[in-house]
Amino acid sequence: MILKDRVAIVTGAGSGIGRAGALIMAREGAHVIVADIDLANAEETVRQIATAGGNGEALAVDVTDDKALEAGMTAIALRHGRIDILHNHAGSQVAGNLEDVAIAGFDTSWSLNVRAHFMASRFVMPIMKKAGKGVILNTSSSSGVLYDREMIAYTTSKHAVIAMTKQMAGDYARFGIRVNALCPGWVDTPFNAPFISQMGGRSAIEGYIAEKVPLGRWADVSEIAEPILFLVSDRSSYMTGQILVVDGGETVV
């Protein structure tokens, strides 16, 4: 098991890609803190981890609440004596162009997709520096490297995550801490509901994917979990400040 005895925190791990990442880390020996705003969803992920023979615990937290997030991180460090991996995954998709998007939606997108990643990383960094090692993985998106129609709040935040990742990686490599970003493309989860609605329904989005994605299909969450495992494990030990795009080839066309 390539993550044996490591302590990992995954935000937004109550469903979708976050859950898949938490499950694969636990499968490889990590003790996974499943952080999610929805306690029931977090507990379901923990139940699935336990059923598969792994170890995990639920942490109900709103990652945009600085005090709650810091308290949660501090408690984890005190309880386990270490935090080896932080996967900042919790995010939000807000549709709309410059004129149409709700300002509150833009602010929510920035707060959840960028600022929460920044704050969680800030809280774990002293712990990782003291240990002389650690891994931070930030979830961006294929929308962080290309134009995404009428999604200004989302694309702006996801481009920012990439810039922040590179900056953090450069600043903290000398402490033995690696920071990379994952850019998933179309993954079949409820997260895409805003874009599906904007596109005109499920059949419309299926047609869009068939046309725009060279592989011609959605990804399954399991196909994103494996890249997550690569990025948080020693398999990527000489990799930092990099952006791994997993999008079925959409960004090459």
Which domains does the chain possess?
A: 7-189+220-247 (3.40.50.720)
Q: Which of 36, 30, 32 is nearest to 16 (CA)?
A: 36
81-108 pLDDT, tens per residue? Answer: 999 999 999 999 898 999 999 999 999 9
Q: Which of 117, 87, 64 is nearest to 18 (CA)?
A: 87
Least confident of 109-118, 194-203, 235-244: 194-203
Model pTM score: 0.95
The answer to whether residues 161 and 87 touch, using CB atoms and an 8 Å cutoff, is: no
56-90 pLDDT, tens per residue? Answer: 999 999 999 999 999 999 999 999 999 999 999 99
As annotated, the active-site residues are 154
119-177 pLDDT, tens per residue? Answer: 999 999 999 999 999 999 999 999 999 888 889 999 999 999 999 999 999 999 999 99
The answer to whether residues 188 and 224 touch, using CB atoms and an 8 Å cutoff, is: no
User: Long-range pairs for 199-203 at CB < 8 Å and ≥24 separation?
Assistant: none
If DSSP codes are grouped into helix, strand and coil, which group holds residue 31?
Answer: strand
In eight-state DSSP terms, residue 188 is -
Tokens of 157: 């935040």
What's the CA angle centered on 217, arms 215 and 222, to 5 degrees?
100
The answer to whether residues 228 and 24 touch, using CB atoms and an 8 Å cutoff, is: yes
Q: Which of 137, 158, 135 is nearest to 146 (CA)?
A: 158
Strands (DSSP E) found in the chain: 7-11, 31-36, 55-60, 85-88, 134-139, 177-184, 243-246
175-230 pLDDT, tens per residue? Answer: 999 999 999 999 988 777 777 777 778 888 888 889 889 999 999 999 999 999 99
Tokens of 156: 């702006």
Distance of CA 108 to CAs 8, 103, 105, 132, Å? 26, 9, 5, 34
Q: Which of 154, 155, 136 is nearest to 145 (CA)?
A: 155
Confidence of residue 253 (pLDDT cuts 50, 70, 90): low
Give the per-residue pLDDT at 198: 72
